[in-house]
Amino acid sequence: MTATELLAADAAGIARAAALLRAGELVGFGTETVYGLGADATNERAVAAVFAAKGRPRFNPLICHYPEAEAAFEDVEAPPVARRLAEAFWPGPLTLVLPRRPGCRVALLAAAGLATQAVRVPAHAAALALLRAAGRPVAGPSANRSGQVSPTTAAHVMAGLGGRIAAVLDSGPCRVGVESTVLDLSGGQPVLLRPGGATREAIEAVVGPVRLPEAAHAKGAPRSPGMLLSHYAPSLPVRLAARTVAADEALLAFGPPLDGAGAVFQLSAAGDVVEAACRLFAGLRALDAAGGVRAIAVMPIPATGLGLAINDRLRRAAAPRDDPAALA
């Protein structure tokens, strides 16, 4: 990749950053919490590029950023409790996890295949101007390489991701400096998934008691779908590294497909792991719904580049369902 552009957070810099985002490029941008690694969230390839640039060994679901609550609520269901929180905290360091609406514009890969989507409106003038100019949801995990600390200056982003992304919009150091609080509203009672810039006390003042994930995990606690599972798993058993396939199995193919499957979804005919990442969750969902098959057989996928994250996700999908490690 060519040199990463360092853009000033003025009108010209913001226009340039927005144009790069719309073209599917990655742009680091400051928010009040930490610098985000921005990508057009509606563009599956741009989202795949985020995981590649970060060197993430796993597909974690990403937070989508919007210039205002109304734009966010086009993509996710917004029950009254979400509207109250948005009213009280947005723009600000609170991320809400809500059910994706039918027709949600955000790529399934950005939700790591889940039926929920994390959304936020940041309290930062340059970030809001960028989001308005981009005119679409912007996925933005922290702009650091996987395993490194979150960046709070443009220089941090350059040090970690320079040469791997198109540009960084330099809006100075971050005011809050810790990540946003992540609150899951997709189940019954709100669950605090990650502490952050918005305090539990302030949230509880608006919506009443909030649970911690440990309490929700406790033995015998009711389990709401999508609340605890931080990954998508198909309901059919998954068989990995398939060299043959039976007529009563569905096949998740990578490269020239094996003969004889009851149903086939091609991840990438050319054997391209980036294309396969883009199609992974759609493929698992399609085969899960195929009908007339008892399992999903998955052809071997190389553990290079995004193949690492694909294999991680498939291993979790194939693990016994009572294995807690597979749910993490």
111 binds, among ligand AMP, Mg ion, none (CB under 5 to 8 A by kind): ligand AMP
Binding partner of residue 106 among Mg ion, ligand AMP, none, CB under 5 to 8 Å per kind? none
Provide the mask over 164-183, with x wherever binding to ligand AMP is found by CB under 6 A and - wherever it is not.
---------------x--x-
* Contact yes or no for 295/250 (Cβ under 8 A): yes
| Residue 20 Cα to chain centre, angstroms | 20
Instruction: Single out the residue of 42, 142, 153, 186 in contact with Mg ion (rule: CB under 5 A).
Output: 142
Complex with Mg ion: residue 148 or 189, whichever CB lies closer: 148
Query: Which residue has the CB atom at the shortest distance from Mg ion?
Result: 142
Nearer to ligand AMP, 47 or 166 (CB): 47
Q: What sign does the dihedral 270-273-278-283 (CA atoms) show?
A: positive
Among 114, 168, 250, 306, binds ligand AMP (CB under 6 A): 114
Report if residue 297 touches ligand AMP, rule: CB under 6 A.
Answer: no
Q: Which of 96, 97, 242, 261 binds ligand AMP (CB under 6 A)?
A: 97
Per-residue binder mask for ligand AMP (CB under 6 A), 213-252, x = binder:
-----------------x----------------------
> At closest approach, how far in Å is the CB of 182 from Mg ion?
11
Contact status: 60 vs ligand AMP (CB under 6 A): yes
Ranges of beta strands (E only) in the chain are: 5-8, 27-29, 36-40, 63-65, 94-99, 116-120, 138-139, 167-170, 181-184, 191-194, 238-239, 249-254, 263-268, 295-298
For 239-254, b/e burial (b = at least 16 CB within 10 A) is bbebeebeeebbbbbb
Distance separating alpha carbons of residues 258 and 246, to the nearest angstrom: 10
> Which DSSP category does 317 fall into?
H
Per CB under 6 A, 111 contacts ligand AMP: yes
**DSSP code per residue over 73-111:** TTTB---HHHHHHHHHH-SSSEEEEEEBPTT--S-GGGG
Q: How far apart are CA 169 and CA 107, in angstroms?
A: 24
Measured from the CB atom, is 32 or 249 closer to ligand AMP? 32
- How many residues belong to the chain? 328
How open is the CA angle 311-291-323, to the nearest 5 degrees?
A: 40
| 62 vs 158 by CB, closer to ligand AMP | 62
Binding site for ligand AMP (CB under 6 A): 60-63, 97, 111, 114, 116-118, 141-142, 179, 182, 184, 193-194, 230
| Contact residues for Mg ion, defined by CB under 5 A | 142
